[in-house]
Amino acid sequence: MGAVLGAVVGLDGRPHYLHSGWFLISVANLVVIVAMLVVFALAIVLPFPLGRREQ
């Protein structure tokens, strides 16, 4: 399982960075930040299942 994950996301390789002038961020950190923004947006727009608690 670890080998499969490693093959997909390259956990053993050198980390990748985005660099432009003063701006420097690792791809891993950027992925987490983008994922948080996506989850935040989905949490606002997706309907919540009300079920029996609706009142």
Binding site for another protein (CB under 8 A): 32, 35-36, 39-40, 42-44, 46, 48, 50, 53-55
Identity of the residue numbered 29: N
Which residue has tokens 């390259």? 10
CB 29 within 8 A of CB 18: no
CB 43 within 8 A of CB 54: no
Give least dist CB 34 to another protein, A. Answer: 12
If the CB atoms of residues 20 and 46 are measured against another protein, the closer one turns out to be 46
If the CB atoms of residues 13 and 20 are measured against another protein, the closer one turns out to be 13
